[in-house]
Structure 1
């Protein structure tokens, strides 16, 4: 048995953690020396957004869910502690959601990334699935499942994110219209609640916790493992891009594509603001980088264009003529004449496409920079007005990064889960808009960055009003009152679940939803 001494700066209080564990799992100055402790906490105060930098007092690197359970059990039973705890996966949050000021950050990647594939027929289950650690990355699950000719159905655009991280938010990409978000493709979870209880939950067992945690922003428990639904993986993908100059035609064709899930496997789209925005999305289409120049020769270089992306999977064993399917689909679309392009890529390369862009940006020093992103869900009825609002608040001259826009289908989301979609329930089509800009310090000063953040707040607040009816995804709100407005009629349920599974509000303080409470004195 070992004892780890943990020092915290909260109200100058020295907290003694006498946690019984076979592992030395609290990193503190006594364990590793002041220098290592400083480096570790600095890393835990950094995320992909590079906007907020809240330093914890300690970092827990657990070897098993039991270590997390011991910590949370101790804190929930303590009548004098107000320490908070945040789980950190791959560190890709934008506004400090995985940070814990003067608290404890749990580095989930220290738990072994076990991936166990169960093929259909191995047991009584009628489907294939993978059991995987919450801290494992989606790229790890993809690589392992492909060995069996299998893969998860729903993805995010970027695969170097943790399983638990995306399941705590939603997990969306171009497959969402067909299979729903990642949270709709989970069969079972193991969760450590804010009270330190280790619970295995599913739609049929401890279902309230299961539905609360999926899309629950880490407020109710820490996902330590997940059972992910798998299906047969295609061998190749025919990936198509078609360009438009009219926004109404662009969204009409996107909605047509998502109405054909029997033919189409992936639908996304983006706004072409400038040549850089096209280059940032064109690594797989090197032969067609002259697109902007073709149109500049015809008219104004400041004109905005739109690109629809869709993909058709090639399973080869099913005897489907993919080229014929693409032709059939293309004939139904109203893109600009002679401006449709396609490539054939492996399934792995298609799913891992953003990694190629990451390597390019790293090479130019544009990856580890601030990312003042804004992600919104916008109902179909408000998407044109939202587009106008957005274009009034961004400049095509200095915009760096992709600007995504594509439709989802409401029925593919389980509203028992914690994710909030726009309240226009009669509309099946909901658009996701991702303003994924980068702000290089070389060209955007602190004043410039603050100005971008101010503009995004204005867009988000305006778009959340009834005339547009949008909701933030991966949201960041300044107060509990703002969060209450965000959840709307579902706030009471969200609050009740918090009281049940994390009554002292120990977990996920970076969101700023609930203030930390003291345990009752005994």
Structure 2
């Protein structure tokens, strides 16, 4: 019996034993190895670089539906019937780059089908929100703000699911102060690869709790998370300062993250062109004063620090005085610092406005050969020099982010990986090379060349030269994954054997392959 026929049989069995019909199978995903315009979302992602056709899509109404599916697949009878080949991937917003949320010839679980289920609790000592794994962070923000609360740590883009970012790390400009999103979780509900529905925390089943956080979907599917909350500010004073020297730029970033009592957000980016200024935010009309500087010498590369100070509108705190105190310590170019006051919601939701602009220009649903790194402080200057060997500022479209995190804000019990080189460096830099391609000027071969350049850069920046670690990447082989995890590999593999012994979960990562993926195509 063919695998697709077996999956149809499984669908019928599940439909009989469940109060709801939640498997759709088979579905028409278009011809194999071809990417038609009508390709369904379960076959693709934001990267538009890999396309994996599932045999079925699960649209659960509850965590119990997911538990039932995985319990049946992990049973000895199912393993024998399917030859150990059926895999399952949880798909949230589909914002992965290399098909990490796809399940070629397997089953994709659409987490957005779960009720968002956002319950906010304000307490005298601790406030938190219990949130469904398929809820968007934008939805979490809207609900928590109703009580004057908000999560501590954010990603730049809010239309991502809670379960999705917690399966990676969830980083942004607040991570230097509060750690990544995985450092701000109090409790989880997880369905393991064996179909067990487990509530876990640092005190209750801690091995599963820490394994799942940053675990790339390998050990379980997050169906609920308890997120720590803090008081939300009313306004944000958002500033930009410009630099023509990289060391001064990074020096001031490190200065800012050393003042968490005053500074609430720090990021930075490379100013590659006038377009990168216009496209990065419409909240800064004053930045046009810097354009004349750019036009003087277009061969020069400039840098910009973004930082923000929260305004709680308390009488004892004067945000303008705080900004002045901070700026006096910085070494930016001349008078090139600009600031604006925006609402807290608009500040956190800033990338959504940029998304609307890119969609209007037809530049959102295009291939995104992104590359993200954690770079030890001791190697950031060399990494900057190496970057321009593989990236041409003249034709690059998209932001290049560079900003610091603090190693001690990350819990080493989680599965997330930091550089092992430069472990004495308290500061680790995020570098995000977030390229978009223009379908009018970049052919299929052009995209393949960019991916090849990415692989070459990743190899050159890794061990033994700089020791950078990829973030949100997909490595080409299990051996490369072992190198990626380094000293953490033994623990990672042990958790896999315990919580997903048949390697059902997360096939799109390519960490524990069960078989070849005959329906996966890549550019």
* Structure-2-length-normalised TM-score: 0.93
Change over 3 Å in CA distance of 1:34–1:260 after alignment to 2: closer
SS of 1:80 mapped into structure 2: helix
How far off is 1:380 after superposition? 0.2
Q: Distance in 1 between matches of 2:39 and 2:389?
A: 40
How far off is 1:13 after superposition? 7.6
Instruction: Show CA shifts across 1:453-485 (max 9, x none).
Output: 111111111111222110000121011000000
Gaps of at least 5 residues in structure 2 are: 31-35, 516-523
Change over 3 Å in CA distance of 1:282–1:431 after alignment to 2: same
Q: Is the 8 A contact 2:63 2:223 kept in 1?
A: yes
1:86 to 59, 84, 89: 89
Instruction: Show CA shifts across 1:325-357 (max 9, x none).
Output: 000000000000010000000000000000010
Q: Distance in 2 between matches of 1:140 and 1:475?
A: 27
Instruction: Show CA shifts across 1:197-246 (max 9, x none).
Output: 00000000000000000000000000000000000000000000000000
Q: What is residue 106 of structure 2 aligned with on the other side?
A: 103
Q: Is the 8 A contact 1:87 1:108 kept in 2?
A: yes
Q: What is residue 9 of structure 1 aligned with on the other side?
A: 4
Q: What is residue 369 of structure 1 aligned with on the other side?
A: 366
Q: Is the 8 A contact 1:55 1:100 kept in 2?
A: yes
The equivalences for 1:215-294 within 5 A come to 215-294=214-293
Q: Is the 8 A contact 2:100 2:509 kept in 1?
A: yes
How far off is 1:292 after superposition? 2.6
How far off is 1:287 after superposition? 3.0
Change over 3 Å in CA distance of 1:498–1:433 after alignment to 2: same
Q: What is residue 412 of structure 2 aligned with on the other side?
A: 415
Change over 3 Å in CA distance of 1:502–1:328 after alignment to 2: same
Q: Distance in 2 between matches of 1:456 and 1:390?
A: 10
Gaps of at least 5 residues in structure 1 are: 1-5, 518-522
Q: Distance in 1 between matches of 2:368 and 2:285?
A: 26
Q: Is the 8 A contact 1:7 1:28 kept in 2?
A: no
Q: Distance in 1 between matches of 2:29 and 2:424?
A: 57
How far off is 1:41 after superposition? 7.2
Q: Is the 8 A contact 1:40 1:59 kept in 2?
A: no
2:324 to 309, 323, 327: 327
Does 1:204 pair with 2:203?
A: yes
Q: What is residue 520 of structure 2 aligned with on the other side?
A: none
Q: Is the 8 A contact 2:47 2:98 kept in 1?
A: yes
**RMSD value over aligned CA atoms?**
1.8
Q: Distance in 1 between matches of 2:7 and 2:424?
A: 53
How far off is 1:28 after superposition? 2.1
Q: Is the 8 A contact 1:7 1:15 kept in 2?
A: no
Q: Is the 8 A contact 1:377 1:471 kept in 2?
A: yes
SS of 2:280 mapped into structure 1: coil
Q: What is residue 114 of structure 1 aligned with on the other side?
A: 117
The equivalences for 1:305-324 within 5 A come to 305-317=302-314, 319-324=316-321
2:497 to 492, 496, 499: 499
Instruction: Show CA shifts across 1:228-277 (max 9, x none).
Output: 00000000000000000000000000000001100100000000111222
Q: Distance in 1 between matches of 2:435 and 2:240?
A: 21
Q: What is residue 520 of structure 1 aligned with on the other side?
A: none
Q: Is the 8 A contact 2:235 2:341 kept in 1?
A: yes
Q: Distance in 2 between matches of 1:33 and 1:397?
A: 42
Q: Distance in 1 between matches of 2:260 and 2:22?
A: 47
1:388 to 356, 361, 385: 385
2:339 to 336, 339, 342: 342
SS of 1:439 mapped into structure 2: coil
Q: What is residue 518 of structure 2 aligned with on the other side?
A: none
Q: Distance in 2 between matches of 1:379 and 1:324?
A: 33
The equivalences for 1:121-140 within 5 A come to 121=124, 126-140=125-139
Does 1:27 pair with 2:28?
A: no
Change over 3 Å in CA distance of 1:217–1:329 after alignment to 2: same
Instruction: Show CA shifts across 1:6-63 (max 9, x none).
Output: 98439x886434121111100124xx8999xx99972201100000011101100000
SS of 1:280 mapped into structure 2: helix
How far off is 1:317 after superposition? 2.8
Change over 3 Å in CA distance of 1:28–1:295 after alignment to 2: closer
Q: Distance in 1 between matches of 2:54 and 2:38?
A: 9
Change over 3 Å in CA distance of 1:489–1:310 after alignment to 2: same
Q: What is residue 71 of structure 2 aligned with on the other side?
A: 73
Q: Distance in 1 between matches of 2:38 and 2:146?
A: 35
Q: Is the 8 A contact 1:8 1:15 kept in 2?
A: no
How far off is 1:418 after superposition? 0.1
